[in-house]
Amino acid sequence: MFVDDNRDVADALAALVEFEGHQAQCAADGQEALLVAGSFLPELAFVDWKLPDMSGGELVSQLQLNPALSNTRYVLLSGHTDPDIAAKAAAAGFVKCLTKPVRLEDLLACL
């Protein structure tokens, strides 16, 4: 799953992982991500930090409340991953931080 308020970015990255044989869904904000994740049940979610309605950390905290998503891994995928954001992301449950524009090899290594 890709959560990014830039829908073109999310759709393009989803197309790349689908080309590699994986299923992907996209969401443009936190509320949409909560709905998509609840029905899609992703194994992995790439989440931007700055979303229109909440931070990526707040979103992951809410997603982690859903027992059906207990095995989902979260990767921060943001244009701004300074040490402060990286520390907040790790505390929120992100397992990795990637910076946009992301290299295809780095994206695929997470799958």
pLDDT in tens, 55-104: 999 999 999 999 999 999 999 999 987 889 999 999 999 999 999 999 99
- Phi/psi-derived region of residue 107, left when phi > 0, alpha when psi is between -120 and 50, beta in every other case: alpha
pTM of the model: 0.96
pLDDT in tens, 17-37: 999 999 999 999 999 999 999
pLDDT for position 91 = 95
pLDDT for position 80 = 82
Helices (H), 48-94: 56-63, 83-92
Q: Where are the domains of the chain?
A: 2-109
pLDDT for position 28 = 98
Q: Which class does domain 2-109 fall in?
A: alpha beta
